[in-house]
Amino acid sequence: MPASPSISSFEARSSRVSLLTALVYPQNNYPASAFEALVASCRGRGLALAGVLQHVVDAAPERRCDVVLEDLTSGYRTPIFEDRGAGASGCRLDEAALAHVAAQIERSLDCSPDVLVLNKFGKAECDGDGLIELIANAMDRNIAVVIGVPQSNLPAWRSFAGELGAELSADSREIERWSEDLRQARRTTSR
């Protein structure tokens, strides 16, 4: 894995909850409802959010590339795949759109959110690129990070996160417990 920003020096201010958490899911089975539940649970507890939620715009098989990222700060939705036309046989990420979304998220960290929600620790992150610097920046600011990690990327995630990382399933009780632990930690610890 290429060199990436170090998070090993990060010191969690609460031993009750990890501030670097993977929401683990089976390959090709993105847990949209679990992420929506996590966002609702955090907001319901008064936690400020930054980051993105992933939404499928059209679930028809021939439209599987119709995916947008919703900015949790502004509500703005950005398509993340190139429109390759009706005859296209596959999806291609729109790198410019992703860079734009990443820049928006980076700016939103200046508002000191409690939680940064990211949709996927994907191939770019496995290679030490993508959102790695954004994650490290959030950690440096003592902002909790929750990111979706497909099971196939768990080894790379574990290598990146080391002892700081925790893993969360899509189970609603586990999500509620995590967000309540974070709320308690935020309430008792000033950033």
| 137: nearest Cα among 3, 2, 7, 18 | 7
State residue 63's pLDDT score. 58
Highest mean pLDDT among 15-19, 26-30, 116-120: 116-120
Tens digit of pLDDT for each residue in 100-157? 999 999 999 999 999 999 999 988 899 988 899 999 999 999 999 999 999 999 999 9
| Residue 113: domain span | 20-52+106-188
- Cα–Cα dist 19/58, whole Å: 33
- Cα–Cα dist 42/162, whole Å: 25
Position 4 in a domain: no
How many domains does one find in the chain? Answer: 1
CATH number of 132's domain: 3.40.50
State residue 6's pLDDT score. 38
- H/E element holding 79? strand 77-79
Report which DSSP code applies to 162. G
Position 76 in a domain: no
Position 176 in a domain: yes
| Between residues 1 and 152, the one the model is more confident about | 152
Residue 186 has pLDDT above 90, yes or no: no
Position 164 in a domain: yes
> Which residue type is seen at 93?
L
Question: How far is CA 179 from each of CA 80, 90, 111, rounded to the nearest angstrom?
Answer: 28, 36, 20
State residue 171's pLDDT score. 94
Position 138 in a domain: yes
| 95: nearest Cα among 124, 66, 119 | 124
CB 178 within 8 A of CB 17: yes
Tens digit of pLDDT for each residue in 48-83? 999 999 998 875 555 557 889 999 999 999 998 887
